[in-house]
């Protein structure tokens, strides 16, 4: 499993005008090639009257699947520049479509490359990127008098408090970076004078905006 990854925050779109042509960028998370193709077909159906619906996607922990489609634009002027934006941003499991409505002014090969790459990058910028990190979960069980001290320490750390459960004692669910497990356990024990019960639970990806 990857320790971390970057991907788009959510599905979204953004439109820009270049030399009277409308360029509408779409981006979405996809986990399989089938999902990517379904996303592309959805946009193509939505914009069936467009001059072009160019696409690119990158899938897999090691970017195993990389596909592009120029959809009638001169070869190498649309899909590949779009894919290069995804790779430059180190995005995983992401598909993009750029729809073009021709405005009457030809852009030339260089202009097309710039138009499709800038539409892709601006679309992703508008949607936002998140970093997912594989973190180790813990349950932290303490007596109520220790809650303020423990919460304060966690708020000033990189650890993430995911949930709180109030019973005879308080149980916090905390997610910790995998390279900080020993120091986390040591700090919690020292902070509470060992008046704490720590138990590892499952790992999961936790996403934060970047």
Residues 137 and 105 in one domain: no
Residues 39 and 109 in one domain: yes
pLDDT at position 33: 97
Query: Closest Cα partner for 21 from 98, 127, 123, 120?
Result: 98
* CATH code at position 198: 3.30.70.240
Residues 151 and 167 in one domain: yes
pLDDT at position 74: 98
pLDDT at position 6: 98
44: which 2 tokens?
């193509």
Domain that holds residue 137: 133-209
Tens digit of each residue's pLDDT (9 = 90 or more) over 32-51: 999 999 999 999 999 999 99
What value does the mean pLDDT of the chain take?
Answer: 97
* CATH code at position 50: 3.30.230.30
Question: Which of 102, 127, 152 corresponds to the end of one domain?
Answer: 127
Asked if residue 8 lies in contact with residue 121, where contact means CB atoms within 8 angstroms, the answer is no
Please count the structural domains in the chain: 2
Residues 100 and 20 in one domain: yes
pLDDT at position 97: 98
pLDDT at position 75: 96
Q: How far apart are CA 167 and CA 187, in angstroms?
A: 24
Tens digit of each residue's pLDDT (9 = 90 or more) over 75-86: 999 999 999 999
Asked if residue 49 lies in contact with residue 122, where contact means CB atoms within 8 angstroms, the answer is no
What's the whole-number mean pLDDT along residues 106-116?
98
DSSP string, 87-130: HHTTB-SEEEEEEEE--S---HHHHHHHHHHHHHHHHHHHH-EE
Residues 31 and 67 in one domain: yes
The secondary structure element, H or E, covering residue 45 is helix 33-46
pLDDT at residue 1 greater than cutoff 90: no
What's the whole-number mean pLDDT along residues 185-201?
98
74: which 2 tokens?
């001169």
The secondary structure element, H or E, covering residue 7 is strand 4-8
Tens digit of each residue's pLDDT (9 = 90 or more) over 82-99: 999 999 999 999 999 999
pLDDT at residue 18 greater than cutoff 90: yes
Exposed, middle or buried: residue 1 (CB in 10 Å: 0-12, 13-18, 19+)? exposed
Query: Closest Cα partner for 119 from 19, 4, 2, 22?
Result: 22
pLDDT at residue 126 greater than cutoff 90: yes
Residues 20 and 54 in one domain: yes
pLDDT at position 79: 98
Q: How far apart are CA 206 and CA 150, in angstroms?
A: 21
């Amino acid at each position: 499993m990857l320790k971390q990854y970057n991907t788009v925050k959510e599905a979204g779109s953004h439109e820009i005008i270049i030399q009277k042509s409308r360029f509408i960028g779409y981006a979405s998370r996809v986990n399989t090639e089938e999902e990517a193709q379904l996303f592309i077909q959805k946009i193509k159906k939505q914009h069936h009257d467009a001059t072009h619906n160019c696409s690119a996607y990158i899938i897999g922990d090691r970017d195993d699947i990389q596909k592009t489609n120029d959809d009638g634009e001169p070869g190498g002027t649309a899909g590949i520049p779009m894919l290069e934006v995804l790779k430059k941003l180190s995005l995983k499991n992401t598909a993009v479509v750029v729809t073009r409505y021709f405005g009457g002014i030809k852009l030339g090969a260089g202009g097309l490359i710039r138009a499709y790459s800038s539409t892709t990058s601006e679309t992703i910028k508008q949607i936002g990127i998140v970093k997912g990190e594989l973190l180790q979960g813990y349950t932290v069980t303490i007596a109520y008098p220790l809650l303020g001290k423990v919460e304060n320490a966690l708020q000033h750390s990189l650890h993430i408090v995911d949930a709180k459960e109030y019973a005879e004692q308080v149980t916090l669910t905390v997610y910790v970076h995998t390279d900080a497990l020993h120091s986390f356990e040591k700090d919690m024990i020292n902070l509470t004078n060992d008046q704490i019960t720590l138990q590892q639970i499952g790992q999961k990806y936790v996403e934060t905006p970047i």
